[in-house]
Amino acid sequence: MRLHLGIVYKDGNIINHRSLVKVFLNPILRLFGFQIVSRVLNNIITDIGIEHCYKTKIPKWYLRYDTKGCVVVKKRLLL
């Protein structure tokens, strides 16, 4: 299983940002209705925050988007 850590681009636009902290904490936070998010403005990650989301009943750690045609730029961000 590949984690695809870094900033994920598709067609030149950011579609996701993945870090170890987000990969491991988000499934647990979603149990309580929260998640760590990366905010993007003009195709640049501006900040990281916590937002409300739908609660889940069990943690899910697997990748849920199509990685075909995606480019992962490995950048080290705190979250």
User: Could you report the per-residue pLDDT of 22-68, keeping only the tens digit for each?
Assistant: 888 999 999 999 999 999 999 988 888 999 998 888 887 665 666 67
Residue 68 forms part of a structural domain: no
Q: Where in the sequence is the domain holding 47, given as residue range(s)? A: 6-60
What pLDDT score does 66 carry?
A: 65
Query: How remote is the C-alpha of 20 from its chain's centroid?
Result: 9
The Cα 70–Cα 24 span in angstroms is: 22
Mean pLDDT within 3-32: 86
Total structural domains in the chain? 1
Residue 12 forms part of a structural domain: yes
Q: How confident is the model at residue 71 (pLDDT cuts 50, 70, 90)?
A: confident
Between 9 and 75, the more confident residue is: 9
